[in-house]
Structure 1
Amino acid sequence: MNREEIVNGLIEGKIKLYQVEKYTSSANEAVDIRREFIEKFSSSSLDKIADYTLDMEKASKKNIENPIGTIQIPIGVAGPLKVNGKYCNREVYLPLATSEGALVASINRGCSSITLAGGVNTNIISDKMTRAPVIKAKSASGAIEVKNWIENNFDELKSLAETTTNHGKLIKIDPILIVGSYVYPRFVYSTGDSMGMNMVTIATEKILEKLENENDAIHIALSGNVCVDKKPASINMIEGRGKSVTADIIIPEDIVKTKLKTTASSIVEVNIAKNLIGSASAGSMAFNAHYANMIGAIFLATGQDVAHVVEGSLGITTAEDRNGDLYFSVNLPDLPIATVGGGTSLETANEGLQILGVSGSNKVLEFAEIVAGCVLAGELSLVSALSAGHLARAHKELGRE
């Protein structure tokens, strides 16, 4: 079957989008045929989507279904940012993919102030990934029996889960929530340099097979939403998920005045009024100005799962006036990231990780510290701009339509 016949088959509905590879000799050919069909169906020209350098043969196996090409997002750099961490102790330039004018410039200003002040201090609080299935017993008392069985057999369940992976370790099963006859055990794993969702899913499925064999209960869904994956949740704020990281700095009064064009007391007031009281009044789970901007930009540049931006946006910003000097901190309890696997293997994303010097194994905690420093830089710059009344001017100059 030639190209024209395949395209006509798609138009007539005789061939499905996912079947194109069956009639072609390569993934690249399938991409071109599928895109030609979409062009005809939508009366559009997709020349730019067709212009890519990614290895689509490789991407089609692990990263994308029914591909027609790629999109391009501008990528800029901010820095240098001096990071003083246990895993990262050096200056870095931050790759940031975004179409929001003024964002990279704002983060760059934060980097400049931080580096001039001696660097941002970063710390890893915890490192874990979760999967929480929902199990149904016949009654509330039966649900309690399941809970007790899980707690009494932890060592055996840990060994069983770890037969499915060379890198994952079951740390704990906590909390185990009960609602009526439903049981929601939160399985908590360490996953190494991988973000680990697939890893913990497979390990948890192995445990559930044993649980059903030895209890009068069934598992309803492998994810019962207590994980909580790709949604904002208080449990992730409290318990943490992915990498839990903190970053803080003391910026001398003269740098606050000359670089940030404001004062520590003004920054503190904006932080309290906006990030704390304003967020609380709105019922927000994120007590910060714009963590999602930095998380989104660095995630896109390094091949992270973009849906996890909703988790990475959780966190609390604090600010203190210490006799004119500014103490400023960000807290990221829920940062699911990776330096191997998933989108990190895509060529452009891997180059983003290379810019940071964190591509490959044994680099993920270093990467987490860099991300925390990036978030602090952007948060510091925006809160400072707000306190100085510069936000609207910056967007007029750099980001207006």
Structure 2
Amino acid sequence: MASPRIPRNPGDDYTRSMAAQRRQVLSEHSGAVLAYVGRYSIDPGVLRGNIEGFIGAAQVPIGVAGPLLINGEYASGEFLVPLATTEGSLVASYNRGMRLLSECGGVTTTIVEESMQRGPAFRFDSSREARDFGRWVLDNLAAIRAAAESTTRVGRLLDIGQYQVGPLRYLRFNYTTGDAAGQNLTGKATRAACEWIRDHCPGHPRYVLSGNVDTDKKHSQINTLLTRGRRVVAEAVLSAEALHRIMRVDPVELFRWRQVAMTGAVLAGASGTGVHAANALAALFIATGQDAANVAESHAALSYTQLLDSGDYYWSVTLPALIVATYGGGTGLPTQRECLELLGCYGPGRVRAFAEICAAVVLAGETSLAAAVLHDDWVAAHERLGRNRP
């Protein structure tokens, strides 16, 4: 059988007609009927810059949880949160966690640091040349910064971390990126900076734009320590009365369980000490047009808890590498924009509020799942709400 040729139209590839032609080729080749893939409400004309070879849409159901009371510096008030998922019981669980947090006075959220990276690597013939190059970079930081920032309206180069292995000198350019997630912005800016370095540094050193120390789309310890995207903390004091009434757990037993869970995470070499931050972030990311692959970095969560003398329970979650945007990318597509608008977070100037909401939702999920495991209704909830089998 001859290989199928996917139809393309260089002049105007983003039309319903071109999408239908591609679906027809796929159906003839595979025998699959793409009836639902081909039913969508968005105008293909708005998708340029978001996808290639468009054939239709994957319709992920969106539920709503809340209200969630947040006491943030940028997100303040009650929020109804859209979550896109196909996992039954997930929205219900987050809704329960939001009720607990709200009845206990809400979640306090704090953005601690912000930075997005690109990590080129420069190659030399000897380790001493690489070392001396690092000193040259420090001496010429102002000119390197000017070259990088000449490519962007909102990006600002904070500093350049340096790491050497043999004759390799890894540079980790750290930027603020406004309301964009910033991976493309930092790539363009860092390329301009590296070209300037190559042209002006004695010996004209060779480089690759990414030496993988920027750790795009994967968890890393360097992100946990030094931040990627935004480092956000969500914290709350949970009253013993509310834990008993809503979650049916005792704070002392909950604290003992946390010791078990945190030790288990260390034993397993997990990316953090949280329980399931990826569930909240994946559902939020899909609903609001984030780059879903950024969940790989963003989900690393560090839980810290205290059993207070009052008998109440302090719980915080720190997300050291939360990568989100409220402008650009997929955030402006119709349904994604509506979900951001539901949160009051679409457009410039809203990314910090959205980051705080993300962290608060993660904390809601941590509390609910922990209580479900401890009270032994985790399996029962999935059986009751999560069964969708032929």
State if a TM-score over 0.5 links the two structures: yes
Residues 292-345 of structure 1: CA deviation (Å, up to 9, x unaligned): 000100000000000110111102112221132111110100001000000101
CA distance, structure 1, for counterparts of residue 43 and residue 117 of structure 2: 32
Report how far residue 54 of structure 1 moved: 1.7
Report how far residue 181 of structure 1 moved: 0.9
Letter of the 1:95 partner, please give it.
P
Match of 1:321 in 2: 307
CA distance, structure 2, for counterparts of residue 25 and residue 98 of structure 1: 30
Match of 1:152 in 2: 139
Match of 1:192 in 2: 178
Distance 1:64 1:278, change over 3 A: same
CA distance, structure 2, for counterparts of residue 24 and residue 354 of structure 1: 30
Say which structure is richer in helix. 1
How many matched pairs? Answer: 386
Contact 1:111–1:377 (Cα < 8 Å) also in 2: yes
Distance 1:335 1:246, change over 3 A: same
CA distance, structure 1, for counterparts of residue 382 and residue 55 of structure 2: 34
Q: Which runs of 4+ in 1 moved over 3 A?
A: 22-26, 217-220
CA distance, structure 2, for counterparts of residue 218 and residue 355 of structure 1: 50
Match of 1:21 in 2: 9
Report how far residue 146 of structure 1 moved: 1.6
Distance 1:291 1:26, change over 3 A: closer
Confirm or deny that 1:98 pairs with 2:85: yes
Distance 1:25 1:106, change over 3 A: closer
Unaligned runs of 5+ in 2: none
Contact 2:304–2:315 (Cα < 8 Å) also in 1: yes
Match of 1:123 in 2: 110
Match of 2:292 in 1: 306
Letter of the 2:290 partner, please give it.
Q
Report how far residue 26 of structure 1 moved: 5.3
**Match for 1:349 among 333, 336, 339?**
336
Contact 2:14–2:44 (Cα < 8 Å) also in 1: no
**Match for 1:72 among 50, 54, 59?**
59
For 1:130, what is the secondary structure of its paired residue?
strand
Letter of the 1:47 partner, please give it.
A
Contact 2:144–2:197 (Cα < 8 Å) also in 1: no
Match of 1:54 in 2: 42
Report how far residue 25 of structure 1 moved: 7.5
**366-375 or 155-164, which deviates more:** 155-164
Distance 1:317 1:134, change over 3 A: same
**196-205 or 150-159, which deviates more:** 150-159
Residues 254-309 of structure 1: CA deviation (Å, up to 9, x unaligned): 101001110111211222111x1001111112211100000100000000000110
CA distance, structure 2, for counterparts of residue 29 and residue 135 of structure 1: 47
Match of 2:222 in 1: 235
CA distance, structure 2, for counterparts of residue 289 and residue 125 of structure 1: 22
Distance 1:24 1:178, change over 3 A: closer
Report how far residue 194 of structure 1 moved: 0.6
For 1:21, what is the secondary structure of its paired residue?
coil
Unaligned runs of 5+ in 1: 1-10
Match of 1:41 in 2: 29
CA distance, structure 1, for counterparts of residue 69 and residue 294 of structure 2: 26
Match of 1:336 in 2: 323
CA distance, structure 2, for counterparts of residue 26 and residue 145 of structure 1: 51
Contact 1:267–1:319 (Cα < 8 Å) also in 2: no
Match of 1:277 in 2: 263
**200-209 or 50-59, which deviates more:** 50-59
Match of 1:202 in 2: 188
Contact 2:14–2:54 (Cα < 8 Å) also in 1: no
CA distance, structure 2, for counterparts of residue 386 and residue 205 of structure 1: 48
CA distance, structure 2, for counterparts of residue 25 and residue 316 of structure 1: 45
CA distance, structure 2, for counterparts of residue 215 and residue 308 of structure 1: 38
Confirm or deny that 1:138 pairs with 2:125: yes
Letter of the 2:50 partner, please give it.
N
CA distance, structure 2, for counterparts of residue 329 and residue 177 of structure 1: 32
Contact 1:137–1:216 (Cα < 8 Å) also in 2: no
Residues 197-248 of structure 1: CA deviation (Å, up to 9, x unaligned): 1111000000111111224254442111111211110000000110110000
For 1:195, what is the secondary structure of its paired residue?
coil
Distance 1:372 1:163, change over 3 A: same
Confirm or deny that 1:289 pairs with 2:241: no
Match of 1:85 in 2: 72
For 1:259, what is the secondary structure of its paired residue?
helix
Report how far residue 24 of structure 1 moved: 6.4
CA distance, structure 2, for counterparts of residue 110 and residue 364 of structure 1: 23
Letter of the 1:121 partner, please give it.
T
**48-57 or 78-87, which deviates more:** 48-57
> Structure 2 length normalisation: TM-score?
0.96
Distance 1:52 1:326, change over 3 A: same
For 2:150, what is the secondary structure of its paired residue?
helix
Match of 1:112 in 2: 99
CA distance, structure 1, for counterparts of residue 365 and residue 229 of structure 2: 21
Contact 1:27–1:57 (Cα < 8 Å) also in 2: yes
Residues 81-101 of structure 1: CA deviation (Å, up to 9, x unaligned): 000011011100110000011
CA RMSD in angstroms comes to 1.5
CA distance, structure 2, for counterparts of residue 100 and residue 383 of structure 1: 18
Report how far residue 16 of structure 1 moved: 4.4
